[in-house]
Amino acid sequence: MLPSENAVKNLSARDSQASKSATRFVRERHSVRAFRSDPVPRDVLEECFGLAQSAPSSYNVQPWQITVLEGAALGRVSNALQDAIDRGLESTVLPLPSAYESYRSEMGNAMYGKNGYDIPRHDKERIEAADRRNFNFFEAPLALIVAVDSALAPVDILATGMYLHTLCLLLAEQRLGHCYQVSVAGYPDILRQELGLNPDVQILCGVAIGYEDETEQINRLRTARDDWKMHVDFCNG
């Protein structure tokens, strides 16, 4: 039986609405670095995790390994990371190649400038305090530690990235903000020890999650993007 004309119209309207929602969430996506203390409902999280599991992966391996931190566990990990910094433990995050250093410089200027934290360059103490907020996950009510089996290939790390972006767009649909965090992955031994993770996993990043504190100026920061033509080539001959 063919669908009725009204059913087709309703389906078309839903598709159009979904398309507009996807465009809006992509355009509005930004890093949240200040959160309200409101807890994130477990059923909302579980729904987002369930939907994100449909993200693509090579051979359907679904390589992502996610540890959700909340409550006492989140506090314990935050304390362990900050203690590591106090002890002078070096981060394992590799420096950017010089060809990309300008991006980091522009990001730093924006984050600590008038439209971000608004901290003068000479105020090293406040800059350090702002940097350390990474390691308590910006006081978010929950955080993720994202890992993959180190025996897997780069394509599986790519799949984990697609999963994460899918997850965070779903969280945005539920009005939940997020911030991807490379900084915490610079202390993999601390995270493995605190969370009982297998020594063979590669820790990729953390993600702070919660309801955005819209009163904080840092959350109004928007970073510039290259023209897409700088990153896309069409080959047709």
Write down all domains in the chain, each with its CATH number in brackets. 32-95+135-218 (3.40.109.10)
Both tokens of residue 95?
Answer: 């420096």
What pLDDT does 22 receive?
Answer: 81
Q: Which residues pair with 31 in a beta bridge?
A: 178
- Which amino acid would we find at residue 216? E
Strand, coil or helix: 119: coil
Distance CA(12)–CA(161), nearest Å, equals 30
Q: How far is CA 35 from the centre of its chain?
A: 14
Mean pLDDT by 10 residues, the chain (237 residues): 52 54 88 97 97 98 98 98 96 95 94 92 91 96 98 98 97 96 97 96 98 96 96 94
Distance CA(87)–CA(90), nearest Å, equals 9
Instruction: Decide: 137 and 208 in contact? Cβ < 8 Å.
Output: yes
What pLDDT does 237 receive?
Answer: 84
pTM: predicted TM-score of the whole model, two decimal places: 0.89
Q: Which residues contact 207 (CB under 8 A, 6 or more apart)?
A: 143, 144, 146, 164, 168, 178, 179, 180, 181
Distance CA(10)–CA(231), nearest Å, equals 38
Instruction: Decide: 181 and 4 in contact? Cβ < 8 Å.
Output: no
- Which amino acid would we find at residue 24? R
What pLDDT does 8 receive?
Answer: 46
